[in-house]
């Protein structure tokens, strides 16, 4: 079973928003990491991951390719954290991207599970999404926080592929091939949120923070300020995923990774204005990828089984995001989301 120090971890999607924080958290805890991604690290990644290079190996591979083309690159991991995915698709992109989303989010996930079992990994953490629960019936600000036994009711191509992979992962665990733990993430925000070759839409937290820093107005849609989500600072997300990867034993196989509270876009806007100043607003699209609203998820099971709780307030998380955006702009001399 996992635990102790010196664990060898494979992180898929290790250059993505969530994956790079998982890599950083594992390195900071003294573990060694193979970070697999279809992209190559750039200057922003290298700076973010600096200081532990001797324990980090970057592997460039496409998980959608047949496994025999990349399995020799991943070593013999003790644990796998599978974050690689095609992430939220704007409604206009869904039709064209459906086959790709199924290939990466479902078929490649099965390849990762099979390989982890073949290599004798003791646990896979499969990173899933609150989108598997679908759209909340009522107001997420006042509705109940959903537990892990809530019905799956995905509404979008992205959510459907995540739910299929989530259920396959659970079945794989039941069949005894390999221990697989599913982690359903609420809405992460924070440093290193960037467009990737698999993701074009970023969160409103990112977009508004970046606009305000550039002295530009925040783009708002009519009525959007009342929309709420369960926002969670990405370092808290990564620490939860590492806790799930390394816990000596876990009594459950599915965990929400969430704050358990609804934050409205009005609160996000007010915090951005308080931190940066008022740069005005203009009517424009708000990036709420896929569903405008998602349910609030209860983190009670995760806290009970691992001791993890979210510790970062929106104020602190936004301040860290703004610091990172300023630093990235200096490093790249270009758009912070690039």
User: What's the CA gap between 161 and 166, in Å, rounded?
Assistant: 8
Taking the mean position of all CA atoms in its chain, how far away is CA 91?
Answer: 20
Burial of 290 (0-12, 13-18, 19+ CB in 10 A): buried
Q: Which is nearer to ligand NAD, 222 or 253 (CB)?
A: 253
As measured in angstroms, the least distance from the Cβ of 183 to ligand NAD is: 9
As measured in angstroms, the least distance from the Cβ of 38 to ligand NAD is: 4
Token representation of residue 252: 């459950």
User: What's the CA gap between 95 and 332, in Å, rounded?
Assistant: 33
Q: Which is nearer to ligand NAD, 199 or 277 (CB)?
A: 199
Taking the mean position of all CA atoms in its chain, how far away is CA 252?
Answer: 20
Q: Are 128 and 188 in contact (CB under 8 A)?
A: no
Q: Which is nearer to ligand NAD, 192 or 322 (CB)?
A: 192
Q: Which is nearer to ligand NAD, 2 or 154 (CB)?
A: 154
Q: Are 85 and 61 in contact (CB under 8 A)?
A: no
CA max distance for the chain: 56
Q: Which is nearer to ligand NAD, 63 or 180 (CB)?
A: 63
As measured in angstroms, the least distance from the Cβ of 279 to ligand NAD is: 24
To which H or E segment does residue 183 belong? Answer: strand 180-185
Q: Which is nearer to ligand NAD, 196 or 281 (CB)?
A: 196
Q: Are 208 and 218 in contact (CB under 8 A)?
A: yes
User: What's the CA gap between 82 and 19, in Å, rounded?
Assistant: 8
As measured in angstroms, the least distance from the Cβ of 208 to ligand NAD is: 15
As measured in angstroms, the least distance from the Cβ of 5 to ligand NAD is: 26
As measured in angstroms, the least distance from the Cβ of 154 to ligand NAD is: 12
List interacting residues with ligand NAD (CB under 6 A).
Answer: 13, 15-19, 37-39, 62-64, 83-85, 87, 104, 108, 127, 129, 162, 185, 187-188, 196-199
Q: Which is nearer to ligand NAD, 82 or 271 (CB)?
A: 82
> What secondary structure, in 3-state letters, does 296-321 show?
CECCHHHHHHHCCCCCCCHHHHHHHH
As measured in angstroms, the least distance from the Cβ of 215 to ligand NAD is: 26
């Amino acid at each position: 079973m996992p635990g102790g120090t010196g664990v060898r971890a494979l992180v898929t999607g290790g250059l993505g928003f969530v994956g790079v924080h998982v890599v950083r958290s594992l390195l900071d805890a003294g573990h060694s990491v193979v970070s697999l991604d279809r992209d190559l690290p750039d200057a922003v990644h290298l700076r973010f991951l600096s200081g532990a290079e001797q324990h980090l190996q970057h592997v460039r591979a496409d998980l959608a390719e047949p496994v025999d083309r990349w399995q020799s690159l991943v070593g013999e991991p003790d644990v796998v954290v599978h974050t690689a995915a095609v992430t939220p698709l704007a409604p206009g992109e869904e039709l064209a991207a459906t086959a790709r989303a199924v290939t990466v989010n479902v078929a490649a996930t099965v390849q990762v599970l099979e390989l982890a079992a073949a290599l004798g990994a003791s646990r896979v953490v499969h990173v899933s999404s609150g989108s598997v629960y679908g759209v909340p019936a009522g107001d997420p600000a006042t509705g109940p926080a959903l537990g892990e036994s809530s019905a799956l009711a995905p509404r979008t191509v992205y959510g459907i592929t995540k739910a299929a992979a989530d259920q396959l992962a659970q079945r794989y665990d039941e069949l005894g091939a390999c221990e697989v733990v599913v982690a359903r993430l609420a809405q992460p925000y924070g440093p290193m949120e960037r467009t990737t070759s698999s993701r074009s839409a970023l969160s409103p937290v990112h977009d508004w923070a970046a606009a305000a820093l550039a002295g530009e107005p925040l783009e708002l849609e009519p009525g959007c300020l009342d929309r709420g989500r369960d926002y969670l600072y990405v370092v808290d997300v990564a620490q939860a995923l590492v806790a799930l990867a390394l816990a000596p034993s876990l009594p459950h196989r599915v965990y929400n990774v969430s704050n358990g509270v609804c934050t409205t876009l009005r609160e996000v806007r007010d915090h951005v204005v308080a931190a940066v100043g008022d740069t005005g607003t203009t009517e424009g699209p708000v990036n709420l990828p896929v569903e405008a609203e998602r349910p609030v998820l209860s983190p009670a099971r995760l806290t009970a089984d691992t001791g993890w709780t979210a510790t970062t307030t929106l104020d602190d998380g936004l301040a860290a995001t703004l610091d990172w955006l300023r630093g990235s702009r200096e490093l790249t001399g270009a758009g912070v989301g690039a």
